Chains A and B, each alone.
Chain A
């Protein structure tokens, strides 16, 4: 009786990201269960759910850090073909360095805390094959500036920086090569409200100016509401509901989504 949503007809572009029936088990725990999703170029997909819902595991698989037990993952890019989960380690590393950026909640996961901030960003360019020192320096600075990182702190190591600044370095590193896909894992969790607003604003601006396709995982519904076009709700490894962001927040269909939305302050 419910209305079935059809395939896109007006939007002619193919989805940039396509994940199909992705599953992953750790011991007895099924962390991710048959998750499928499509993200179109320039679109921002938000994934919400409580701790243990599998949302971060799914994101790490999109970053090719984790291999699922089953399922496929494709990106509509000229240099890659077929299921990305089948790529060898070297090919994965190159693809991630060149086309996928990631910002973790914990900056220690994404940064060398004692190297300079500009060095952290330049490292990404080095991995991708850039060897000219002047280009490295210039491009790193450009990315840091786009992330609204203060120019006078370029040489400061992340360990000396505030949480908000560390997230900016991660963001700069992630966008240094103009990635096709930007993955964000709780990028503002743990930051002060004012700093959180700055990081959100930077992300929104980057999305508008560069049309970067993003997947953002957060348990903070406000963050998702601000950034996402579409939302996927996960619970115990499964997708319980997916739809336009305003629909998920204003007219949630699933009992769990209703609970989640009503619990928001």
Chain B
């Protein structure tokens, strides 16, 4: 299997200027990830699991280290890559599934889900068909497809979010507690989709509060050393 990601001595902390202090998140984390591999991040709240995902995605700025991603265009260090290169990789090769939907005013659920396919060059009609298929698979009622998700309940928003995040197969998928607040049907659909993507070669790094759902998919576990004051760090994050 080919290597997708090489994380080398990754270190992240937060400097909070108004408090005049620095909080370490994790220090010198290293691991490799191959195509089709599923890696679970373990550790108590505050161990830096979500922070690690966001640092890999470049939503957070790392202090030091290297993250070599083997893109279809060649190897590149995600920590030092130009912003435009990161934007392109996020559109084509690196996905991030969070617990929260970023709804936009006046954009319907189906249009939101179809968007990644549209951006990848799919025709409007084909993208919309595929979007409806996934909304249905995750159990979003047909009446809601053309409605604006801004007013949906948390659970329904999460289903729209998953459909959107998983519609386009990626080379690397980062999962930040995607099963939180999901009902049984949606959870089953999610696990089935992840299994399919994994079989097709998507490499995944996940944080799961209850990893039982995905236990059969997990290849490796990284235990991020605990010992940090999570509450304080989460304050910065939010």
Interface residues of A, Cβ cutoff 8 Å to B: 1-11, 40, 43, 197-198, 200-201, 204, 208, 226, 229-230, 243-244, 246-247, 250-251, 253-255, 258-259, 262
Asked whether A5 lies within 8 Å of B16 as measured between CB atoms, the reply is: no
| Beta-carbon nearest neighbor of A262 in chain B | B18
Interface residues of B in 111-166 (CB under 8 A from A): 115, 118-119
Contacts of B118 in A (CB 8 A): 208
Asked whether B61 lies within 8 Å of A251 as measured between CB atoms, the reply is: yes
In angstroms, Cα B87 to Cα A1, docked, is 24
Given A208-B118, A251-B14, answer yes or no on A6-B59 (Cβ-Cβ < 8 Å).
Answer: no
Asked whether A3 lies within 8 Å of B61 as measured between CB atoms, the reply is: yes
In angstroms, Cα B60 to Cα A247, docked, is 6
Binds A, one of B36-44, B72-80, B184-192: B72-80
Interface residues of B in 16-63 (CB under 8 A from A): 16-18, 54, 58-63
Binds A, one of B101-109, B171-179, B197-205, B214-222: B101-109
| Beta-carbon nearest neighbor of B16 in chain A | A258
Given A251-B14, A251-B59, answer yes or no on A1-B64 (Cβ-Cβ < 8 Å).
Answer: yes
Asked if B83 lies at the interface with its beta carbon under 8 angstroms from chain A, I say: yes
- Closest Cβ of chain A to B65, distance in Å, is 8
- Closest Cβ of chain A to B228, distance in Å, is 16
Most buried by B among A43, A230, A243, A250: A250
19 further A-B pairs in the complex, CB-CB below 8 A; given A201-B107, A250-B237: A3-B64, A5-B82, A5-B83, A9-B81, A9-B85, A10-B76, A10-B85, A11-B88, A43-B87, A197-B106, A198-B106, A208-B115, A229-B83, A244-B83, A251-B14, A251-B61, A253-B15, A258-B17, A259-B18
In angstroms, Cα B15 to Cα A4, docked, is 18
Contacts of B61 in A (CB 8 A): 3, 243, 247, 251, 253
Q: Which size class do B's interface residues fall under?
A: 35 or more
Asked whether A8 lies within 8 Å of B84 as measured between CB atoms, the reply is: yes
Asked if B89 lies at the interface with its beta carbon under 8 angstroms from chain A, I say: yes
Asked whether B64 lies within 8 Å of A7 as measured between CB atoms, the reply is: no
Contacts of A8 in B (CB 8 A): 82, 84-85
| Beta-carbon nearest neighbor of B73 in chain A | A10
Asked whether A201 lies within 8 Å of B106 as measured between CB atoms, the reply is: yes
Q: Which of A2, A10, A204 contacts B81 (CB 8 A)?
A: A10
- Closest Cβ of chain B to A232, distance in Å, is 11
Please list the 4 inter-chain residue pairs (A to B) with the smallest Cβ-Cβ separation, ordered nearest first. A255-B17, A197-B105, A8-B82, A251-B60
Contacts of B77 in A (CB 8 A): 6
Number of residue pairs A-B, CB distance < 8 angstroms: 95
Asked whether A7 lies within 8 Å of B59 as measured between CB atoms, the reply is: no
- Closest Cβ of chain A to B51, distance in Å, is 9
Asked whether B18 lies within 8 Å of A247 as measured between CB atoms, the reply is: no
Given A1-B64, A10-B89, A43-B87, answer yes or no on A250-B54 (Cβ-Cβ < 8 Å).
Answer: yes
Asked whether A2 lies within 8 Å of B85 as measured between CB atoms, the reply is: no
Contacts of A9 in B (CB 8 A): 74, 76, 81-82, 85
Asked if B86 lies at the interface with its beta carbon under 8 angstroms from chain A, I say: yes
Contacts of A255 in B (CB 8 A): 17-18
| Beta-carbon nearest neighbor of B96 in chain A | A246
Asked if B8 lies at the interface with its beta carbon under 8 angstroms from chain A, I say: no
Contacts of B230 in A (CB 8 A): none
Asked whether A3 lies within 8 Å of B104 as measured between CB atoms, the reply is: no
Most buried by A among B17, B58, B61, B62: B61
Contacts of A254 in B (CB 8 A): 17
Asked whether A244 lies within 8 Å of B59 as measured between CB atoms, the reply is: yes
In angstroms, Cα B230 to Cα A134, docked, is 66
| Beta-carbon nearest neighbor of A231 in chain B | B83
In angstroms, Cα B104 to Cα A254, docked, is 28
In angstroms, Cα B18 to Cα A1, docked, is 22
| Beta-carbon nearest neighbor of A193 in chain B | B105
Asked whether B86 lies within 8 Å of A244 as measured between CB atoms, the reply is: yes
Asked if B71 lies at the interface with its beta carbon under 8 angstroms from chain A, I say: yes
Q: Which of A201, A226, A258 contacts B18 (CB 8 A)?
A: A258
Contacts of A251 in B (CB 8 A): 14, 54, 59-61
- 29 intermolecular pairs with C-beta atoms under 8 Å apart: A1-B63, A3-B62, A5-B82, A6-B81, A6-B82, A7-B82, A8-B82, A8-B84, A9-B85, A10-B88, A11-B82, A43-B84, A197-B106, A201-B104, A201-B106, A201-B107, A204-B104, A230-B83, A230-B84, A243-B61, A247-B58, A250-B59, A250-B237, A251-B59, A251-B60, A253-B61, A254-B17, A255-B17, A255-B18
